[in-house]
Amino acid sequence: MNIIGISAFYHESTCCLVRDGRLVAGAPEERFTRVKFDRRAPINAFRFCLEAGGHLSPADIDAVAYYESPKKKLERQLSMGLGPSVDPSFAWLDTLAPEREIREKLGYEGPILSFEHHQSHAASAFYYSGFGEAAVLTVDGVGEWATTTYGVGRGAELRLLDEVRFPHSLGLLYSAITDLLGFAVLSDEYKVMGLAPYGKPRFAETLRTIARPGPRGQFTLDMACFDFAQPGRMYTDTLVERLGVAPRAPKGELLQVHMDLARSLQVVLEELLLAKTRYLYELAPSEHLCLAGGVALNCVANRRVHTEGPYKHIFVQPAASDSGSALGAAALAHVQLTGRRPSEGRIPHVNLGPSYDADRIAATLAEANIAALDFRGREAELLEAVVDRLDRQQVIGWFHGRMELGPRALGARSIIADPRDPTMRDRLNALIKKREGFRPFAPAILEEQAPAHIDIHYPSRFMTETCQVRSPLDLPAITHVDGSARPQTVSPETAPRFARLIAAFYARTGCPLVVNTSFNVAGEPIVNTPEDAIRCMANSQIDCLVLEDFIIDKPLISAFLRRTVAAGDRALRDRVEAQVDPRLSGDVERWRPAEGALPKGVYTFV
Amino acid sequence: MNTKELAEFLASEEGLAVARALLGATAEPAGAPVAARPGPQPILEWRPVEGEDGLTFERPDAARCKPRRIGPKAPGALRVCLIGESMAAGFPLAPAYTPALVLEELLRQALGPAVEVIDLAMPNMGPTEQLRVCEAARQLRPDVFVLMTGNNWYYGLTIEPTASPEARRRYALRLAEGGPRSLVAEHRRQLLARAAVMVKHLVAAAHDVGARAVLTIPAVNHAWERRSPPPWLGGGGAAAWSRGYEAARRALAAGALEEAVHAAAQVEDTPLTGAPQRVRARALLASGDPAAAAEAAMAALDGTNWQNITFALPQTPAAVAALMRDGAEAGGYEAVELREILAEAIGGPYLDGRVFYDHCHLNVEGVRVAMSAVAAQIASPRLPEPLGWRALHPLAPSPTPLVAASASFQAAHWASQFFPALAQDDLGALLRAQVREALDADDALQPVLRAFIRLRSPLTSPGLHAALPQASRVPGVSAALVSRRLNAPLLGAILDVLRERGDAEVEDDLTALVQGYERALDDGIDLAHPRHQPQLWERTPLAWDDPNDRQGAPFYRALWPDSTFSLVCGASRDLSVALTARAPSPGEVTLLVNGAPVGALALGPGWRTWRGVLPQGTLRRGLNEVRLLWPALAVDEDEALRLAQRRLSLGVDADLLPVFGEVYSLRVTAQAGA
């Protein structure tokens, strides 16, 4: 039985394929279109899933599982009083659009099963956790009405027992403060989390009066401080007044007050999340907790839940935000259609995307006239050569196997570096990732060596929790200002080549970990294809690219290629800018882009 | 009704239709153009700077045709501002050679050196922007405004099915009132109203600073063929249209010119698609009546641009040209009608490739003639004797051979990129002519053409390909070179022309391309991917989504009874093929390779997959044509029209054109049984 799971049309559209209960493929649309957080119909991701399933046609799909209920969502939107200022075309009124797009853009003709937003989140955590039974907590901005749900799973059964409803939302609270701090909503919340350790929680008391815990897992936001229906701003002047913090302009200077507010928010979030887990434990006592929803990407909070909450073992869905809901919806459909649980074991890895074989890469390199070192059939030598470069403090673009699903690069599309280099963090932020200097980097550490270096004694393969660094080594590149890190423990079973690489680095240097950050630059989705990787390398200060069995050192990429790539990217940017040029939209009176569409609208030829 | 009940209601088609109708009733009317802020205004990319020289304008960088700084007008100098769209901007000759540069040179020849022509033309400039630029240009205190505009005035008319939900709803209302023909009529009404407003305001801006307004009325390439299918007409009208059109085309192909003229006239078309008029125009031309052919070609324009799909093209219909011409006296402006001047120049009324690159863009000779006429118009009142355009024409400068060669190649790419199935019956002949023209102008284009072949590789994007660097040094050719499309029509034309010129090395390039395809065939190639579709724009709405991407064209839809796809291979082995397709009505689709039938699939409304073999014997080394013949349409047109109208009333886009079949994938692979 082939089931396609889809989350789409709001944020980071994603498709996955569950075949006979096994998750065999999954990818977000952005990786194909190269439009960050692409929300359009996941046309390319759908086709990829069908190809990965063995050249399937749409007729081979037994059901499409959609991750939320448009009708119930409309109820909430109507109650919010969304007006023309939010969307002059009132496109959100069209609850038939998701089904229509699935049929008309993906070409799918069979049954479509819709599940509620938080049910999909819950399923994405429980059914892939490997727990036979577990309590399930989902927390995000908002789905239909729910912002938090409390559930329990046992075998194939998953029940939601209670919920917190809109507008009282931890996710929206976090987003609103993210907004006030001048970062992008639905994108940069993790930056606020990274900023928090630099601050003091001096606004926590005020925030506790704005987000108040209530009985039975409830909590309330003081809605005088928020307006979720106004365009472009989630908070009101009252919030500004209560906090006494002026809104920071995007890309404005980061002051101590901003760091303090970030820290305060993080503290309050963690308190509320802990209170929720305790309430859930009353409802669903268990040793196991499953977490999903956008807030479950807050790995600092996850750590507190794990160490201070009532549950012994937790599983956080690696793609905890809406992207992962596609997995949950597909699992729910499988249960509905077969009565059986989709998978018994824990999801071993999230390498569910495309891969590219070495011979084909060789042909591309030849056509591009890129001189590369060819290590086909000589993996040990390849790894030694990579270690040579890491040891020389080079930054490596590491491209191997199937692309990861979810926001984290876990050794398939990663940028890796030596964590011992005291200059590495600043270098990576400034020259490679082209992002804010305060942001930390994560380590990928050999699983069996982890306890000697970090205070985590169980596998944490998806970077879903932070911990303290306890290493005898000095690891400035991966140690945050508060001594924490967000590790990926690397097992030879699930990431064999990546594990062998780190082992080789360990053997050479005595350091069993590397810096591991996603293979992209700011504003760009993680690379998907070898060409994306070459382009990213040419556009940044990455010293060396490892494309499967090939090593490309930066000097081997010609200056012309670097210029060409830069020019190509400039042309792309120009084109995108031209498309949203207000002159053009102003030209077309009353013209609006088709709903659901990202930059488009030049209704013209030359 | 509480929100739950309201949501329940709105989640139905009926509810959505009611909501759309209510929103439409309360929608605010279109606003007037935003009033300019007080103080100096920017003019396109030029920002105002107030300094010791007074008010000047500066842009971040200089271009060949546009100075970095526009200073105050020199005493006694003649300052001309040229405002317009891509034709006025000199596409595809710009920036090295533009109408503004030619005009300046000609005016200097006629009037002396104290002449300055400021190029304010810009490709893609729509009506509102034209008004803004014209108003802002008053700050330059020009003596003459040359308004070389009109082709883009159809931008943003509210009669569009692919715009906002509200626009679609209005479209549905009009459709319900009188069918597709009433949409054409409404489009025409709105366009003429727009043209009247444009002329009035553009001229007023010129007069406001005491400048002369010279309106240059664009001409149309009569030979630029379009082939648009009919929309659903109801009552079997579309089927009758297709039969009549095919009869006219058959007659033309058979050389029965009179019969073709008659058959084309019998098609119930005007004004609808213009396609039968095109057949009529060609038949009349072949009969030796170029004047009647030109009129027929112009009549075809009346049936275009109303659907806002791929067939929309910037051109100025005859009615708009007449409005511009006839209003001159009352409006106090001067009109230069390019159609007449260009006809004079080529010695006949049927305008074609002698003065045009494509549908509206003038070639070198076209620019030289047009700007001679404009210069004569401007200069004459300042001279003792009026000048004719012929007097100035020999003085008009020409571009360098490389610029001319590059422009011809760009024109070929432009034609192949956008209008393969729609434009010419024999696109190959047109493209070969343009490629020859490019090489004739400057053989420096040869390496560009050879690079184009290698850059079609399925393995490497052109931006990374080693063949790009040297070739892209020729100005203007990058867009063609870096396109990811296979572009079989242009590729075929280039191969043909290089071979006919005895370029032995072209076989090396073809071999490299074939090797890349053979490698890709090991994994499989989907010929229905936009990159491999020759008829790319056949079904892409006229939004600027990447046409090489599935987001721009989720799957292939056939608007004509047959579809062609392109395959490059070495013809050294059998290939497996898997076709997944569907059709609105039951029937059989036949698959042919290079004209030889290789299989058939019984189709119906749901996707079905046929797996077969493309035998080695049917394949050729290099380009191959894979063709699908679709079953005849057996669809209730009235019902189809009703459904389209219903969707539009919900604010949803809709197909008004019959679709013979759709292809989800056409996967060819070297693997047996794939």
Secondary structure of B416-433 as H, E, C letters: HHHCCCCCCCCHHHHHHH
- A94, B16: Cβ pair inside 8 Å? yes
d(CA B248, CA A6): 49
3 state SS of B628: strand
Residue A229 falls inside a structural domain: no
**Number of domains observed in the structure of chain A:** 2
B418 touches chain A (CB under 8 A): yes
**Residue A583 pLDDT > 50:** no
Number of Cβ atoms within 10 Å of the Cβ of A431: 13
**Residue B426 pLDDT > 80:** no
- B129, A583: Cβ pair inside 8 Å? yes
> What confidence tens digit (pLDDT) does each residue in B138-164 have?
999 999 999 999 999 988 776 666 667
Could you say which of B11, B313, B466 has the minimum Cβ distance to residue A369?
B466
CA distances from residue A283 to A120, A134, A145, A152 in whole angstroms, order as listed: 20, 11, 21, 9
Domain carrying residue A548: 358-557
Q: Which helix (H) or strand (E) holds A98?
A: helix A97-104
Confidence grade of residue B304 (pLDDT, cut at 50, 70, 90): low
A contacts of B664 (beta carbons < 8 Å): 57-58, 107
Domain match, B257 and B288 both: yes
Helix A559-579 vs helix A530-538: angle between axes, to the nearest 10 degrees?
100
Query: Which residue in chain B is spatially nearest to A592 when comparing CA positions?
Result: B164
Ordered DSSP codes for A400-436: -SSPBSSS---SSEEEEE-TT-TTHHHHIIIIIS---
B contacts of A605 (beta carbons < 8 Å): 86, 124, 312-314, 418
Give the pLDDT score at B161.
Answer: 63
Side chain identity at residue A257, one-letter code: V
**Residue A574 pLDDT > 60:** no
**Residue A81 pLDDT > 70:** yes
Smallest CA–CA distance, residue B598 to chain A, in Å, is 21
CA-based nearest residue to A538, from B546, B464, B290: B464
Instruction: Calculate mean pLDDT across residues B290-305.
Output: 85
| Average per-residue pLDDT for chain B | 88
Confidence grade of residue A588 (pLDDT, cut at 50, 70, 90): very low
Q: Which of B304, B544, B601, B653 to mutate to test the interface with A (most CBs of A within 10 A)?
A: B544
Domain match, B292 and B214 both: no
Number of Cβ atoms within 10 Å of the Cβ of B447: 15
Helix, strand, coil in percent for chain A, rounding step 5: 40, 20, 45
**Number of domains observed in the structure of chain B:** 4
* Positive/negative CA dihedral, A277, A282, A284, A285: positive
Give the pLDDT score at B672.
Answer: 63
d(CA B669, CA B674): 7
Confidence grade of residue B418 (pLDDT, cut at 50, 70, 90): low
Task: Name the least confident of B68-72, B196-200, B448-452.
Answer: B68-72
Smallest CA–CA distance, residue B162 to chain A, in Å, is 7
Ordered DSSP codes for A475-506: -TTT--TTSEE--EEE-TTTSHHHHHHHHHHH
**Residue B601 pLDDT > 90:** yes
- B554, A107: Cβ pair inside 8 Å? yes
Domain match, A411 and A440 both: yes
d(CA A392, CA A404): 28
Task: Name the least confident of A101-105, A208-212, A295-299, B175-179.
Answer: B175-179
> What confidence tens digit (pLDDT) does each residue in B221-236 have?
998 877 778 888 888 8
Residue B632 falls inside a structural domain: yes
How high is the ipTM of this complex?
0.90
Rg (Cα) of chain B, in Å, rounded? Answer: 27
Domain match, A579 and A459 both: no
> What confidence tens digit (pLDDT) does each residue in B541-558 have?
333 345 567 877 788 888
> What confidence tens digit (pLDDT) does each residue in A337-388 have?
999 999 879 999 999 999 999 999 999 999 988 889 999 999 999 999 999 9
Could you say which of A55, A78, A593 has the minimum Cβ distance to residue B578?
A55
d(CA A150, CA B534): 54
- Residue B262 contacts by C-beta under 8 Å, 6 or more apart in sequence? none
Domain match, B271 and B318 both: no
- A96, B16: Cβ pair inside 8 Å? yes
Residue A67 falls inside a structural domain: no
Helices (H) and strands (E) in chain B, counts: 23, 17
Domain match, A505 and A596 both: no
> What confidence tens digit (pLDDT) does each residue in B187-223 have?
888 899 999 999 999 999 999 999 999 999 999 999 8
B contacts of A583 (beta carbons < 8 Å): 126, 128-129, 132
Contact (CB, 8 A) for B170 and B177: no
Q: Which of the 8 DSSP states describes residue B633?
A: P
d(CA A332, CA A18): 11
Residue A457 falls inside a structural domain: yes
CA atoms within 13 A on the CB side of A127: 30
Rg (Cα) of chain A, in Å, rounded? Answer: 24
Residue B36 falls inside a structural domain: no
Contact (CB, 8 A) for B223 and B182: no
d(CA B555, CA A185): 34
Q: Report the CATH number at residue B612.
A: 2.60.120
Could you say which of B10, B519, B674 has the minimum Cβ distance to residue A74?
B10
Residue B349 falls inside a structural domain: yes
Give the pLDDT score at A593.
Answer: 28
B contacts of A370 (beta carbons < 8 Å): 464
Confidence grade of residue B310 (pLDDT, cut at 50, 70, 90): very low
Contact (CB, 8 A) for A214 and A295: no
**Residue B422 pLDDT > 50:** no
Domain match, B514 and B655 both: no
Domain carrying residue B440: 402-518
Provide φ and ψ at B599, rounded to 5°: 175, 170
Q: Report the CATH number at residue A494.
A: 3.90.870.20
Domain match, B503 and B536 both: no
**Residue A573 pLDDT > 70:** no
Give the pLDDT score at B160.
Answer: 63
CA atoms within 13 A on the CB side of A264: 23
Domain match, A604 and A457 both: no
Residue A372 falls inside a structural domain: yes
Smallest CA–CA distance, residue A125 to chain B, in Å, is 29
Is B381 buried (19+), middle (13-18) or exposed (0-12) by CB count in 10 A?
exposed
- Residue A388 contacts by C-beta under 8 Å, 6 or more apart in sequence? none
Structure-token pair, residue A455? 């205070």
Domain match, A529 and A502 both: yes
Residue B128 falls inside a structural domain: yes
Residue A35 falls inside a structural domain: no
Instruction: Calculate mean pLDDT across residues A501-508.
Output: 98
CA-based nearest residue to A419, from A431, A409, A428: A428
**Angle of CA points A277, A283, A289, to nearest 5°:** 45
> Across A508-512, B162-166, B459-463, B668-672, which has the greatest mean pLDDT?
A508-512
Give the pLDDT score at B158.
Answer: 67
**Residue A529 pLDDT > 50:** yes
Residue A301 falls inside a structural domain: no
Contact (CB, 8 A) for A406 and A412: no
Omega cis (within 30) before B92: yes
Smallest CA–CA distance, residue B48 to chain A, in Å, is 18
Domain match, A488 and A584 both: no
Place of tokens 């842009």: B59
B127 touches chain A (CB under 8 A): yes
**Residue A13 pLDDT > 50:** yes
Number of Cβ atoms within 10 Å of the Cβ of A297: 26
- B469, A560: Cβ pair inside 8 Å? yes
CA distances from residue A562 to A9, A291, A528, A543, B383 in whole angstroms, order as listed: 35, 43, 19, 13, 56
Smallest CA–CA distance, residue B398 to chain A, in Å, is 23
Confidence grade of residue A598 (pLDDT, cut at 50, 70, 90): very low
Instruction: Calculate mean pLDDT across residues B490-516.
Output: 96
B17 touches chain A (CB under 8 A): no
Give the pLDDT score at A89.
Answer: 77
Q: Which helix (H) or strand (E) holds B623?
A: strand B622-629
**Long-range CB contact pairs, B60-63, < 8 A, 24+:** B63/B95
Q: Report the CATH number at residue B55.
A: 3.40.50.1110
Confidence grade of residue A9 (pLDDT, cut at 50, 70, 90): very high
Task: Name the least confident of A227-231, B37-41, B426-430, B594-598.
Answer: B37-41
Q: Which helix (H) or strand (E) holds A18?
A: strand A14-19
What percent of chain B shows pLDDT beyond 70? 91
Ordered DSSP codes for B334-360: EEEEHHHHHHHHHTSS---TTTBSSSS
Domain match, A477 and A517 both: yes
CA distances from residue A328 to A165, A280, A315 in whole angstroms, order as listed: 21, 20, 14
Instruction: Calculate mean pLDDT across residues A146-153.
Output: 98
Could you say which of A40, A104, A565 has the minimum Cβ distance to residue B463?
A565
Domain match, A524 and A600 both: no
Instruction: Calculate mean pLDDT across residues B69-86.
Output: 94
Residue where one domain finishes, among candidates B367, B398, B429: B398
CA distances from residue B370 to A504, B218, B342, B352, B390 in whole angstroms, order as listed: 72, 10, 7, 14, 11
Q: Which of B8, B459, B519, B601 to mutate to test the interface with A (most CBs of A within 10 A)?
A: B459
- Residue B330 contacts by C-beta under 8 Å, 6 or more apart in sequence? none
Could you say which of B34, B124, B163 has the minimum Cβ distance to residue A591?
B163
Contact (CB, 8 A) for A268 and A208: yes
CA distances from residue B657 to A586, B35, B406, B634 in whole angstroms, order as listed: 29, 41, 37, 14
Place of tokens 């004047």: B291
Confidence grade of residue B37 (pLDDT, cut at 50, 70, 90): low
Domain match, B211 and B347 both: yes
- B155, A369: Cβ pair inside 8 Å? no
B652 touches chain A (CB under 8 A): yes
Residue B31 falls inside a structural domain: no
Ordered DSSP codes for A458-481: S--TTS---EEB--SS--TTT--T
